Structure formats: C-alpha cells, structure tokens
Amino acid sequence: MFRRHAQNPILTAAQWPYPVNSVFNAGATLLQDGTTLLLCRVEDRRGLSHLCAARSANGIDGWQIDARPTMTPDPDRHPEELWGIEDPRITFVPELQKYAIVYTAFTRDGPGVAMALTTDFRTFDRLGVIMAPEDKDAALLPHRIDGNWALIHRPVSAPRAHMWISYSPDLKNWGGHAMMLQARKGAWWDANKIGLSPPPIETPRGWLVIYHGVKQSCAGCVYRLGLALFDLKRPEQLLQRGAEWVFGPGEVYEQRGDVGNVVFPCGYTLGADGDTVNIYYGAADTCLALATGSVREMLAWLDVQSE
Ligand code: BMA
C-alpha cells in the first residue's frame, strides 16, 4: 500500500544546523510555489521538543533547514508549553488564507491540544489550549461544516483512547463532541489506543483517514497504520474501516531508535496528479522517512478489506 522511498531516512539529527537529539513526527504542506515544507518535531538534548521548518523543492532531498528553532515553546506566555511542543498537523484553511498548526502542548498535567495560525511559518499567532489534557493527535478540517469548524482529536479515558470530533464557531470554543472511531479490543493491532495520524484526506467518497493503532505486549508497543473513511458532511459517521493494518515498522530505522517499532506520520502532501500521497513519518521517534501511496488504491482496498 505504501512504498518506502529508497533514500530513507530523508532527514536525521545529523543534518541539523544545531545540536539536537532527534527529528521526527513532522507536519507537512505544499507551499504556494510548490515547495514542500515539513514542520519537524525536534527533540533537544534536554528531552524537550520544539518545531523546526525544513523546505525542499522536490520533497525528498535538498532540504533547507531553518538555522535556529522555528517555533519554540513559550511557557512564560503559554504555561501549557512548559515541557515542549510536539507532533504538529498542518491544515491550509482557504477561508482564512492561513495555515492552522494543531500541536501537542506538553503541560504539567500531560499532553493537551494547542493551535497556532501562520501565513509564512516564521511568525505564529497562538490560540492557546483548545483541548484540555489529556488529549493529542489532533488536526483541523480545512473548511467549516454546517457553519462550524471541525477538529479531530484523541482524548484519553484510561485505559482506552478513541478518536473524537468537536465543532467550533470561532476556533476557540469547542462543543458538539462526538465519538468518531473506537479503539478495538483484545488482540487486535489497534486495540485500546488509536489516534489520527496525518490530517484527513478529502476525497469525493469521504474523509479518508490514516490512523495509528498501538499494540501493547510484554515486549513493548508497536505503532502501525490503518485506514477508515468518514462521511463528508457528517465526519463522525464511519463509512468503512479496514480490518488489517496497512503499514508498520519493517526497516531497521523504524525498528530501532529512541522508541523502537514506531511509524508515526503527522503530515502528507498530494502529488500533482491528485492521487499520489507522500506520507512523511517519524521512524522510531528518531528520524523522518517518506512513503508513497495512492488515494485510489487506499479507497479500493477499503472496499475489499472493510469489516
Ligand atoms: C505517541 C506520541 C508520539 C510518539 C509515539 C511513540 O503517544 O507521543 O509523539 O511518536 O507515542 O513514542
């Protein structure tokens, strides 16, 4: 379903212009001039994360990495960012002519969801916490639905964690909370804990969602990816869900690192053909890799694989 790029990993800590521990879980977008921008989660050598932009003409190599951190935690004005900012998901919002960056703010009480708006990935308007801890794995849909903005997120109701969707008239006040997708139970690859991976892909058949599932065993966790399709007008309505996972750790750079056996995409770009999906994923919480898929193939697979 997804073909790994031969040049993987495409970005590592060794390429960074300043000393860092790891580079992973990047949000992605295509800028107006066709440049691929990755907003990378960078973990420093204290263990705290900030975001750093890397730009490339072909989305594969020749990355121009910002010389200094692009967006740093600002705990004086935003106490929720005390222990760093992580895992950004980027959505271009035509109505605002801005990019919405939805990210994890590592608060004293655990991870919460925060949002910032930008036009240039150089300055950022922070909206602060939009979902209280413990919550993460969130992304904004690109346009309003019935007059309201929609946010997919993943609150934790221990011991399980499911995907939810919430609505807002103004990007600040959120309500209309609805369960979107439940973690399965028992031995399944996506038992107990799931979450949105990149922002959903809008297709004529529905919102195509690539989500991660976490299988826990006495050997640790394995993060894999699955597919589900949701109604365009009522995105909490599940249309199809694949039974099997479609991508999981297989290469050494995915199996070994700070957190082994993790593939974790936070962003994708769409090719000029409108079908090719370039998925940028953190591998083993250590480096960034690229895999390519096809919207048509994913939808066809759901037709065959859905339960
Ligand atoms: C998740 C997130 C990701 C991370 C993954 C594996 O809960 O925190 O940032 O990549 O765990 O450690």
pLDDT tens for each residue of 218-227: 999 999 999 9
Give the three-state DSSP class for 38.
Answer: strand
- Residue 86 Cα: closest atom of ligand 1: 9
Domain ranges of the chain: 12-305
264: nearest Cα among 94, 104, 150, 112: 104
Which residue's alpha carbon is nearest to atom 10 within ligand 1? Answer: 285
Report the Cα 46 to chain-centroid distance in Å. 23
- What is the spatial distance between Cα 64 and Cα 287, in angstroms, rounded to a whole number? 16
147 secondary structure, DSSP code: T
Question: Which residues of the chain fall short of a pLDDT of 70?
Answer: none
Ligand 1 binding pocket mutation candidate from 43, 223, 258 (most atoms within 8 A of CB): 223
| Cα 237 to averaged position of ligand 1 atoms, centre (Å) | 26
Pairing, β 110-118 against β 98-107? antiparallel
Which pLDDT belongs to residue 158? 84
Which residue's alpha carbon is nearest to atom 2 within ligand 1? Answer: 87
- What is the spatial distance between Cα 35 and Cα 49, in angstroms, rounded to a whole number? 25
| Cα 194 to averaged position of ligand 1 atoms, centre (Å) | 11
Kindly report the number of other CB atoms within 10 A of residue 166's CB atom: 24
pTM over 0.95: yes
Give the three-state DSSP class for 28.
Answer: strand
| Cα 193 to averaged position of ligand 1 atoms, centre (Å) | 12
- Count of positions (residues) in the chain: 307
Report the CATH number of the 12-305 domain: 2.115.10.20
Which residue's alpha carbon is nearest to atom 12 within ligand 1? Answer: 259
Looking at this protein, which amino acid is placed at residue 18? Y
| Cα 205 to averaged position of ligand 1 atoms, centre (Å) | 30
**Structure-token pair, residue 285:** 């919480």
Which pLDDT belongs to residue 185? 96
Largest pairwise CA distance in the chain: 52
Q: Give the burial string for 185-217 (b: 16+ CB within 10 Å, else e).
A: eeeebbbbbbbbbbbbbbbebbbbbbbbbbbee
Give the three-state DSSP class for 2.
Answer: coil
Residues in Cβ contact with 49 at an 8 Å cutoff, skipping those fewer than 6 apart: 41, 42, 43, 73, 84, 85, 86, 106
Which pLDDT belongs to residue 212? 98
Which pLDDT belongs to residue 157? 86
Integer-rounded Cα radius of gyration of the chain: 18
Which pLDDT belongs to residue 201? 98
